[in-house]
Structure 1
Amino acid sequence: MERRTLLKMIALLTGGAVIGGNAFLTGCSSSKESGLKERLNLTPQQIAFLDEVADTILPTTPKSPGAKAAKVGSFMKVIVNDCYEAPDQQVFLEGMDSLDAACNKMHKLGFVEATAEQRLSLLTAIDKEAKEYMAKKGDLPNHYYTLFKQLTLLGYFSSEIGHKQALRYNQAPGRYEGDVPYKKGDRSWA
């Protein structure tokens, strides 16, 4: 799957432009080249937190492993460090604290300690809030949940697990077939 096609699909799924999309299209650059002030040094606990958020967005199903198995938290760290501008890096970092605080407020538990149902209800409410925010944002910074969701989708569907277990992957597809029969329940092609 081409990078541009994947970015278009993620933008369509999340209801907006892909944040940092220009960096994905032109290639990531080092912090010195892009003018980023500093790299985020995420702790293993923060990466585990991001894995839990990603796994709530794309959980394990009977047919494929979830985002946690694809190590999306580590992917997020790399992309945020190498491709995001300083304001989006700050939103991302503060977003982890905001998400945990919102979970504490809603369920009296931190996000990692919450049950799968509690996490899902929280992320559903925040997703709605993020869509409303992004619709009227203007010059405001990006919403942190939009960053999390887009990176989860990009990280998962560009991983080996996403390609080979969630999608139908055929490394050497052979000849072009423009009209392939679809059976209900079939996975999409990678």
Structure 2
Amino acid sequence: MNRREAIKKTAFLMGGTLSAAAISGVLSGCQPTPQGIDWEPLFLTREQGETVAAIADRIIPRTDTPGARDVGVPEFIDLMLKDNYDPDDQQRFRSELTNFEASVMEKHKKPFAALTPEEQDAILTQLDQEAYETTHRDGYRAKTDKPLFTMIKELTLLGFFTSEAGATEVLQYDPVPGQYNGCVPLAEVGKTWAT
């Protein structure tokens, strides 16, 4: 297995970790984040970077811990798209993102990043449901290209939980774990471990 395959498989495994109920619970404690981006995209256009940043920030918003934007997830997504996606997937991502931006602009008369958090959440909830229905047909996972929202969600989760803040402030982290205890009740250790 090469590095790209490992990253794709990790992103796939992490992509199913948030349910609609979990997202709803997290979003209820969100704090607003400033609009715009303060970095120069390498793969995306500036407008696309703002859209991706706004989406990532609604997936993992700032609460009592940093949000996706705070730990550099939008920059991570841009870099992953540039360096790790093949040309066909890059083109499909750009095309779907352009279509998404045009659809939002047509319906709301302003870009996604300028919408209220409630409007953004409504759009993303619908996209999440559509993505699920596209990839899970007749009780099994369909072999199809991942929808745009699924790609962004996977990259957001991967970028956040591999960041220092995600690994140390959200997950349990022990840089040198010491002894190995293979069967420990979760109640004794608390939350999921990053290492």
Q: What TM-score do the two structures reach when normalised by structure 2?
A: 0.71
Structure 1 partner of 2:60:
58
CA distance, structure 1, for counterparts of residue 152 and residue 13 of structure 2: 16
- The within-5 A match list for 1:1-190 is 6-7=10-11, 9-13=13-17, 41-62=43-64, 64-135=65-136, 141-177=145-181, 178-182=183-187, 186-190=190-194
Q: Hey, what's the Cα distance between the residues in 1 that align with 2:179 and 2:7?
A: 22
Q: Structure 1 residues 11, 52: closer, same or farther in 2, change over 3 A? A: closer
1:180, distance to aligned residue in structure 2 (A)? 4.5
Please report how far the alpha carbon of residue 56 of structure 1 lies from its aligned counterpart in structure 2 after TM superposition: 0.7
Moved beyond 6 Å, runs of 4+: 2-5
Q: How many residues align?
A: 163
Quote the sequence identity (%): 31
Per-residue deviation, 1:92: 1.1
* Cα distance, 1:166 vs structure 2: 1.4
> SS in structure 2 opposite 1:13?
coil
CA distance in 2, matches of 1:12, 1:146: 9
- Say which SS state the counterpart of residue 182 (structure 1) adopts: helix
* Residues 141-181 of structure 1, C-alpha deviations (whole Å, 9 max, x = no match): 43111111111111111111211111111111221233145
The answer as to whether partners of 2:104 and 2:111 remain within 8 angstroms in 1 is: yes
Distance 2:130 2:144 in 1: 14
Contact map agreement 2:127 2:149 (CA 8 A) in 1: yes
RMSD over aligned CA atoms reads 3.0
Unaligned runs of at least 5 residues, structure 1: 16-39
Secondary structure class of the residue paired with 2:114? coil
Q: How far is 1:126 from its partner?
A: 0.7
- C-alpha distance in 2, partners of 1:175/1:187? 19
Unaligned runs of 5+ in 2: 1-5, 20-41
